[in-house]
Structure 1
Amino acid sequence: MQKDRSHDDAMAELFAQDPAFATAYLNDVLTEGEPADLMVALRQLAQARGGVPALADKAHLNPTQLYRTLSPTGNPELRSLTAILAALGLRLAVQPVAPAA
């Protein structure tokens, strides 16, 4: 019998198994999702990479604040977001948007 697990756990497992998928997923969320979706995806990626406390240590951020930041209502400063992404081995990039036809 298969054990039930949360969506967050399933996504974290996928992200741990396939880092390229995780990167593509985050890009999709940035392109088409809401800010809350990005915070959830980053929390799931943090879980895949050892958990929020490990990420907080690597990003030099307060773990309690990082839990709040990565909540669906989180609104990180650019400095925090940059630190989080760097600790995950990622970075922000700016790309042109195709003009509407």
Structure 2
Amino acid sequence: MTEKLYDYDPADALKSDEAIEIFLSDAFETGDAAYIARALGVVARAKGMTKIARKTGLAREQLYRSLSENGNPTLETTMAVMKAIGFQITGKRAA
């Protein structure tokens, strides 16, 4: 018997702000800029990329490109997306 495999989209699991907070915190803890950008892209898809594009004033296509696996969003884009999803970047002393 052959099992069907389905693509998993982590955006489907981000139903609450608490889940998003944990997801983003884990991404930021890696210190990997590309991973953080992808994580922001996942959250933006979970919240609705069109809605995020409207709130940030950026083109939806630009957001998909910037927040993709090969994207490299500017700090301005990152901060705009964070604000649009209801989160902020904060600083804390490194351990």
Q: How does 1:1-101 map to 2 (within 5 A)?
A: 5-8=6-9, 11-16=10-15, 18-32=16-30, 34-50=32-48, 52-98=49-95
**Aligned positions, number:** 93
Query: Could you tell me how far apart the structure 2 residues matched to 1:4 and 1:83 are?
Result: 36
Q: Deviations over 1:1-39 (max 9, x none)?
A: xx854222xx212212x3212111111111125222212
Instruction: List gaps (5 residues or longer) in structure 1.
Output: none
Superposition TM-score, scaled by structure 2 size = 0.84
Report the 3-state secondary structure (helix = DSSP H, G, I; strand = E; otherwise coil) of the residue aligned with 1:86: helix
Structure 1 runs of 4+ aligned residues shifted over 3 Å read none
Report deviation, 1:90. 0.5
Report deviation, 1:42. 1.3
